[in-house]
Structure 1
Amino acid sequence: MEIVAAAAAAAEEGSVARRFWNKSQKEALLAAYTPFVVCLAAGGLELDTFRHYIAQDFHFLKTFVQAYEIAEDCADDEDAASAISELKKAVLKELKMHDSIVEEWGVDITKEIIPNPATVKYTNFLLATASGIVEGGKAPAKIATPFEKTKIAAYTVGAMTPCMRLYAFLGKEIVKNLGPDENSHPYKKWIDNYSPINFETAALQIEELLDKLSVSLTGEELEVIEKLYLQAVKLEIEFFCAQPISQRTTVPLTRLHDPLEQRLILFSDFDLTCTVVDSSAILAEIAILRTPKADGSDRDDPNVRKSSDLRSSWKALSSQYTEEYEQCIENILTTEESKDFDYEGLLKALEQLSEFEKRANLRVCESEVLKGLNIEDIKRAGERLILQDGCKRFFQNIVMKKEELNGDIHLLSYCWCGDLIRSAFSSGGLDVLSIHSNEFQYEESISTGEIVRKMETPLDKIQALKDILQNSPKHLSVYIGDSVGDLLCLLEADVGIVIGSSGSLRQVGSHFGVSFVPLFAGLVKKQRLLDGGASPVWKGLSGVLYTVSSWAEVHAFILGI
């Protein structure tokens, strides 16, 4: 029954190999942000670094051949054994090609090439898995049954599959960003070998093999393969990180930043940039839950606040806000579209949005929906607030290196209550963050329903950012945001990073000539400029914003992996 259940789950969620890749894809993406991959894609990777890489890759290929031989011996049917044999032949063929490229690039293959620690970690991990050593255990003295041998084959292939998929993924990303003069790329012959046309087939073959070998496994055994898969991804990323780079690189940003010459100033929005849920909805829900339900004695008393009435009021306010916001964006988009970047036009258009935001906040205050909130309830809600994956870790690592980086962090937020933000970041040393937001007005720790409105509009945000930057004339600034209200700050900063997929942000930005570029593609272009001697590489008001899917990308770009 367990086998049947595992098979049914796999069928429902897709193939085993696809599920494992989907779970690890965010982390795998980080390999693209290593200095080695960015410099390779840009075409300016130093020759000594490339030579070192292909010399280390030689050890990977040899270990793959050994692992395939063991897996082939453990395979339980001719089809699986034949598939493994074909994959092994492909690696042997790659080793021959490898030898010719090694010689072409001046690596003496007659000399012993010592593997570095990151290479050793992966090759030892793979050979241990192929020997039956899983989860720190010991290899069995004797594999008793053919089924146990099949498990070893599945585990081994599970530890190899992510390498093939990762190389196919990286090859695709690099090929997409080779630039118009791709034939002059110094490493094109090597890149072509891992291009989607050549390497995707091999990746699909080993994924199909993993799916086949996994069919008869239990849920517990599939969990073992998943752990091996994820471990292999981590070890591959370590391998790319370990490639020695001496040249100047755009990634991580802290490597390009000189803390003695300039201050690193990081800005971030809060709602839906840092949080999973908008804070206004959370504050309204606290108020509603804290308001007693009407009982028989006070049902008709007009002076008694009822939770049902409060919920209705909040629902009406929310609906009105959404409707008017959409209308405001629509009005902005009816203006003449700009072919070139038009910051002044955008600034004027966002004056409309600013007036709308002020009116919306005034309605909230007049409704008294937020009246009666206890500051302790707000702080508890903040402590339990769910933040975007990787957000808190990023800020914690920045704080840890604050002195070293000569850095500073500012949160610019429309949030109605700064206490909520402070509570969300109260642990892990993040109480040092500078919070710029609105505040509740209290009487003896109970909110009056009034908001001290200090940060309501895009114009408020941009003014706060400019004031902060003015105090540090020599700086490198980064702004991370997700909405139309962040556009001015995103563009003013030296580096503007858009996280998430706000349609209105892209529509309004594009309408005024703003370009949205995936961060990895932007880094490759910037690396080419850096290789050509450009300085500074990053500069505000360029009209280009960089898009990411997660905080992991932000972390990899700014701090490294």
Structure 2
Amino acid sequence: MGGLFIENSDEGGIARRLWMKFKDESIFATYTPFVIGLASGTLDSHTFLHCISQDVYFLQAYSQAYELAEEYADDDEDKEAIDMLRKRVLRKLSDHDNIVRDWGFELPKDGTCDGATVKYTDFLMATALGKVEGEKFSGKIVTPFEKTKLAAYTLSAIAPCMRLYSFVSKEIKAIFDPEEDKRNAYEKWIDSLSSDKFEAVASTIEDLLDKLSVSLTGGELEIVEKLYFQALKLELEFLSAQPIIQSSLVPVSQVQVPAKSNLKVFCDFDMTCSAFDSSALLAEMAIMTARKAYLNECETQASQVITPDLSAAWGSLSSKYIEEYEQCIDSIIPAEAVGNFDYEGLCKALENLSDIEKRANAMVVDSGVLKGLSEDDIRRAGEHLIFQRGCKNFFQEITRNEDLIAGVHVLSYCWSGDLIRSAFSSGDSGVLSVHSNELIYEGSITTGEIIQKMESPMDKLETFNGILNCHGNASKPLTVYIGGSVGDLLCLLKADIGIVIGMSARLRTLGEQFGITFVPLFSGLVKKQRELSESGCCPWNGMSGILYTVSSWAEIHAAILGSYKTGDN
């Protein structure tokens, strides 16, 4: 978790930097069954009442923590601000039942504190009392610096919880449709958390944390970071632990499906999983290999090397491919939108890409750019390949999960299946199937030729269909396809759930002209949750013309797997 206080120094105070660093936790909270049910209005009232009944225990802990923090604060202005926060908590405590009635609900008389609540409140009180891992206070806390430090620690255990509820409620509020006939039963509660008043409280706590942290050392700031992260995790655990009575659409992998059904996840690789294009990586490796070989052979200096011609050849091939590809995409985009979703028309249009991809690969082979790479170098490059944030963690978890019957397939135009397999195998990510082109070797050295298996959207679709057809008479699996390029469109649409990440402007324009609708995944799940509640049947089905957009792999992970483990690259 290091590096926070060196990086992002221009992004505001410590509270904002910590929130941005651990934003994935807030995304996971948004995709919990509780929040999806809340946003859709389908959440069982007993679950909602259980959740808000826990407010009393949270508020009691906040009151005690604020009282201690006020005592610790050395500055009169800080003391006054903390006192105001404590008084607000006390007012909410005394009027809690009336507030809940204003929301349209009546709390049960026999509410009890649940395990997830205890974990957070115990953590908060331990922090406020100075029982902080990595910190040693000498007897009674008396020095002004010790007190200021402990006040900062206490607020770092409160700030993320308030910010999380503000964030989640605003995410929900943003997708409310004012034209809907049926009003969300929980709208007043959501309004209270997304209000300017609540935002002002969350900001006050963050401002205090910023101010109290100014004098802390690097090691003490690391403790602030750990406390902040722990508080956020415990709040996420609290939301995840809420007892869900009704059927939930999330996580997708746990949706109740007929016996013997399973989940199949398909994914593109370049720029969907990887942070860099594999074609450029392999070409650069080959150019460097040729340059080293030439130097060794000629025993001369780099300034006299002639091999940059190979680099120029690759640059020319790359530029030509990009130019032809973009011209082709522009040419197949209809001048006017077709209206209704037209899958067949899109298929015919994308057939034009096939010739470009095949011609580009043939030119790469003829150029000899890929000649001379060793199998070991390719595998090492794969093992050190940089992934999109959160991607590798997703695949590691889905392939390790023994309770989940899942097939994982990577469909890619990449020239080297070995590169992809090595990239996923590092870190013990489990077994998955790779469907791509392959480099040809003589011994363990590439000849420069390619076994051309995956060169067009049609090739991807054929592979996708072939994998599904292997099931025969068995129950059809639930299919998820994850991609971000035009070449993925046909598979994205054919899958039950097509998720677009890193979408280009051309992909959106092309899709919309053929009647495809792009919907943010969160709002799409909320709508599908309503459908599930109304029909009682799983609402996912392919060929609907709807694709779901995400901004990060955290959204994909949260929606499909639900659980979250830290430590990803």
In the alignment, the residues of structure 2 paired with residue 148 and residue 258 of structure 1 have an alpha-carbon distance, to the nearest angstrom, of 56
Give the match's secondary structure for 1:536.
Answer: coil
Within a 5 Å distance, the mapping from 1:150-165 to structure 2 comes to: 150-165=148-163
For 1:243 and 1:297, how far apart are their aligned partners in 2?
Answer: 68
Paired with 1:185 and 1:73, the residues of 2 have a C-alpha distance of 42
How far has the Cα of 1:331 moved from its partner? Answer: 1.8
Q: Secondary structure at the match of 1:178?
A: coil
Match of 1:152, SS state, is helix
Task: Report whether the alignment pairs 1:120 with 2:122.
Answer: no
Helix, strand or coil for the counterpart of 1:291? helix
Write the deviation string for residues 126-173 of structure 1: whole angstroms up to 9, x where unpaired: 111111121265654211312211111111111111111101001101
* SS of aligned partner of 2:219: helix
Confirm or deny: 8 A CA contact 1:55 1:102 kept in the other structure: no
Residue in 2 that maps onto 1:141: 139
- For the residue of structure 2 that corresponds to 1:532, the secondary structure is helix
Distance in 2, Cα, partners of 1:106 & 1:8: 49
The answer to whether the aligner puts 1:33 opposite 2:35 as a matched pair is no
1:455-474 Cα offsets, whole Å, 9 max, x none, are: 01111101111111222351
2:400 and 2:5 mapped to 1: Cα distance? Answer: 46
Residue in structure 2 matched with residue 173 of structure 1 by the alignment: 171
Task: Select between 256-265 and 235-244 the one with higher mean Cα deviation.
Answer: 256-265
Number of residues paired by the alignment?
Answer: 549
Contact 2:134–2:223 (Cα < 8 Å) also in 1: no
Offset at 1:328? 1.9
Q: 1:17 aligns with which of 15, 37, 41?
A: 15
Question: Relative to structure 2, which stretch is displaced further, 196-205 or 412-421?
Answer: 196-205
Residue 551 of structure 1 corresponds to which residue in structure 2? 553
Aligned equivalents of 2:61, 2:319: Cα separation in 1: 61
Q: Residue 465 of structure 1 aligns to a residue in which SS? A: helix
Please give the secondary structure, in 2, of the residue aligned with 1:372. strand
Bigger drift between 185-194 and 329-338 goes to: 329-338
Native 8 Å contact 1:75 1:149 kept in 2: yes
Q: Structure 1, residues 180-229: CA drift from partner, whole Å, max 9, x if none?
A: 33872212222221124342222122112222222222333222212211
Does structure 1 retain, via aligned residues, the 8 Å contact 2:325–2:356? yes
Q: Tell me the alpha carbon deviations over residues 262-303 of structure 1, each in whole angstroms, 9 at most, x when there is no partner.
A: 231110111111111111111112211111354698699xxx
Contact 1:102-1:108 within 8 A present in 2 as well: no
Q: 1:196 to 1:464 in 2, by over 3 A?
A: farther
Alpha-carbon distance in 2 for matches of 1:138, 1:124: 19
What's the secondary structure of 1:441's corresponding residue?
A: strand
Answer yes or no: is 1:496 the counterpart of 2:494: no
Secondary structure at the counterpart of residue 545 of structure 1: strand
> 1:329: how far off?
2.1
The match for 1:435 is 434
Q: Distance in 1 between matches of 2:552 and 2:338?
A: 30
1:320 equivalent in structure 2? 320
Alignment partner, residue 278 of structure 2: 279
Q: Could you tell me which amino acid in structure 1 is paired with residue 341 of structure 2?
A: F
Check if 1:446 corresponds to 2:448: no
Instruction: Please state if 1:337 is matched with 2:337.
Output: yes
Contact kept in structure 2, 1:259 and 1:406, CA below 8 Å: no
Aligned 8 A contact 2:399 2:430 in 1? no
Distance 1:369 1:519 in 2: 41
Conserved 8 A contact 2:397-2:429: no
Q: Residue type of the partner of 1:351?
A: E
2:73 is equivalent to residue 71 of structure 1: no
- Residues 112-511 of structure 1: pairs in structure 2 closer than 5 A: 113-135=111-133, 140-179=138-177, 180-181=179-180, 184-258=183-257, 260-292=259-291, 294=294, 307-333=307-333, 335-401=335-401, 404-427=403-426, 429-430=428-429, 432-472=431-471, 474-511=476-513
Structure 1 position 394, deviation (Å): 1.9
Q: Return the alpha-carbon distance in structure 2 between the equivalents of residues 532 and 97 of structure 1.
A: 36
Give the superposition deviation at 1:391. 2.1
Q: Which AA in structure 1 matches 2:451?
A: V
* Residues 417, 435 of structure 2: 8 Å contact kept: yes
The residue type paired with residue 99 of structure 1 is D
Deviation at 1:480, TM superposition (A): 0.6
Query: In structure 1, the residue corresponding to 2:158 is in which secondary structure?
Result: helix
User: How much has 1:330 moved relative to structure 2?
Assistant: 2.0
Partners of 1:257 and 1:264 within 8 A in 2 = no
Percent sequence identity over matched residues? Answer: 55
Does the aligned pair in 2 maintain the 1:51–1:102 contact within 8 Å?
A: no
| Deviation readout 1:388-414 (Å, 9 max, x if unpaired) | 233222222222335x43321111110
Cα separation, 1, equivalents of 2:312 and 2:297: 21
Distance 2:396 2:215 in 1: 44
Q: Describe the SS at the equivalent of 2:500.
A: strand
| Matches of 2:108 and 2:371, distance apart in 1 | 76
Larger deviation: 21-30 or 284-293?
Answer: 284-293
Q: Which moved more, 1:76-85 or 1:429-438?
A: 429-438
Which residue pairs with 1:83 in the alignment? 81
In the alignment, the residues of structure 1 paired with residue 517 and residue 361 of structure 2 have an alpha-carbon distance, to the nearest angstrom, of 31
Corresponding residue number in structure 1 for 2:566: none
Shift of 1:58: 1.7
Task: Letter of the 1:186 partner, please give it.
Answer: A
Partner of 1:106: 106
Instruction: Give 1:446 deviation, angstroms.
Output: 1.7
Contact between 1:171 and 1:196, CA under 8 Å: does it hold in 2? Answer: no
Q: Partners in 1 of 2:162 and 2:155 — Cα distance?
A: 11
Structure 1: how far apart are the matches of 2:64 and 2:159? Answer: 15
What do residues 515-550 of structure 1 show as CA deviations (whole Å, max 9, x unaligned)? 221111111111111111153310001111111222
Once residues 275 and 259 of structure 1 are traced to their aligned partners in structure 2, the CA distance between those partners, rounded to angstroms, is: 35
Contact 1:481 1:497 in 2 (8 A): yes
Look up the SS of the partner of 1:121 in the other structure.
helix
Cα distance, 1:245–1:136 mapped onto 2, change above 3 Å: farther
Select 1:62's aligned residue among 60, 63, 81.
60
Verify the 8 A CA contact 2:396 2:428 in the aligned structure 1.
yes
Local SS of the residue matching 1:537: coil
* SS state at 1:415 partner: coil
Task: Give the Å deviation of 1:258.
Answer: 2.5
Structure 2, unaligned stretches of length 5 or more?
A: 564-569
- RMSD of aligned alpha carbons: 2.4
| Equivalent pair of 1:328/1:352 in contact (CA under 8 Å) | yes
Q: Give the partner amino acid of 2:266.
A: F
Please say if residues 339 and 513 of structure 1, whose CA atoms lie closer than 8 Å, have aligned partners that are also in contact.
yes
Q: Cα gap change, 1:361/1:249 in structure 2, threshold over 3 Å: closer, same or farther?
A: same
2:400–2:429: 8 Å Cα contact kept in structure 1? no
**Are 1:422 and 1:431, in contact at CA under 8 Å, matched by a contact in 2?**
no
Q: Which moved more, 1:73-82 or 1:233-242?
A: 73-82
3-state SS of paired residue (1:65): helix
Is the alpha carbon distance of 1:153 and 1:478 closer, same or farther for their aligned partners in structure 2, counting shifts above 3 Å? same
Map Cα deviations across residues 59-80 of structure 1 (whole Å, 9 max, x no partner). 1111111111111111112211
Q: Comparing 355-364 with 34-43, which one deviates more in the overlay?
A: 355-364
Q: Aligned with 1:432: secondary structure? A: coil
Secondary structure in 2 aligned to 1:442?
strand
Q: TM-score, normalised on structure 1? A: 0.92
2:528 maps to which residue? 526
> 2:130 is paired with a residue of what secondary structure?
coil
